[in-house]
Amino acid sequence: MRTPIIAGNWKMHKTVTESIDFVKQLEPKLAPYQTVERVVAPTFLAIPGVSEVLKNTDIKVSAQNTHWENQGAYTSQISPSMLQGLVEFVIIGHSECRAYLGETDDMINKKAKALLAHGLKPIIAVGESLEQNEAGQTEAFVGGQVRAALDGLSAEDMANVVIAYEPIWAIGTGKNASGEIANNIIGGTIRKTVRQLYGDTVADTLRIQYGGSVKPENMMEYMSQPDIDGALVGGASLKVDSFVDLVRIAAEAKGN
């Protein structure tokens, strides 16, 4: 049985004060849903304050990115060792970072390795563009992203990896892949690729989230799918009530 994982990716939203106020309100409301792993991903600046508020709770903190080197002449970047002790998870490979920051599969693979070497857990985002989707290239493209991101990772490493399938055309657009389509890519492409690479045990225990315009209204559609183990949520994670609804629905859907 895979523990569902719901992560709120706040992107470039909320000041430090707003982030801290938000988790103070959120924490008691999420406390009952212990069968769901609950994660917030604030901006780098807000991470220390948010981590302090959540330190004696079971709500986890994630960063939204990392560099792969520990230190050096990389203006503006934050390294895995700087995140140690403050976060448990780090989102890497988000399509916005691939598109706007020019991140490549090779960089994402280096980030995954660096995080795992520091005891941090990557949430690796993959997903195809609308053009690729319409050209029938989803399986080949997403499968390729998965292989590239995991290159050189061991089966033991995989116990600390989460993958998020986020079709680019569904992020922040209000358009979303149907639960069935998302489940087919997650099960039929991503989990299948991991099965080819690592075998049944790793494939059957790996948690794979769906992301892209997830909200309380469509959460049950995704969470009732057998291969979808949670959600990576942007917009709907920015309000306390909708974040709580997402987690409650995940707990109900997964029978916990």
Q: Which is nearer to ligand PGA, 179 or 235 (CB)?
A: 235
Measured CA distances, 105 to 28, 125, 145, 182 (Å): 38, 11, 7, 22
Q: Least distance from C-beta 120 to ligand PGA, angstroms?
A: 19
State which residue has the least CB distance to ligand PGA: 234
Q: Least distance from C-beta 139 to ligand PGA, angstroms?
A: 21
Q: How far apart are CA 65 and CA 178, in angstroms?
A: 28
Supply φ then ψ for residue 75, to 5 degrees. -50, 130
Q: Which is nearer to ligand PGA, 62 or 225 (CB)?
A: 62
Q: Least distance from C-beta 155 to ligand PGA, angstroms?
A: 27
What are the structure tokens assigned to 203, written together?
Answer: 């494939």
How many CA atoms lie less than 13 Å away from 47 in the CB half-sphere?
25
Q: How far apart are CA 48 and CA 87, in angstroms?
A: 9
- Residues engaged in binding ligand PGA (CB under 6 A): 9, 166, 171-172, 211-214, 232-236
Annotated active-site positions, please? Answer: 94, 166
Q: Least distance from C-beta 69 to ligand PGA, angstroms?
A: 25
Q: Which is nearer to ligand PGA, 66 or 203 (CB)?
A: 66
Q: Where are the alpha helices (DSSP H) in 35-85?
A: 47-54, 80-83
Q: Which is nearer to ligand PGA, 202 or 228 (CB)?
A: 228
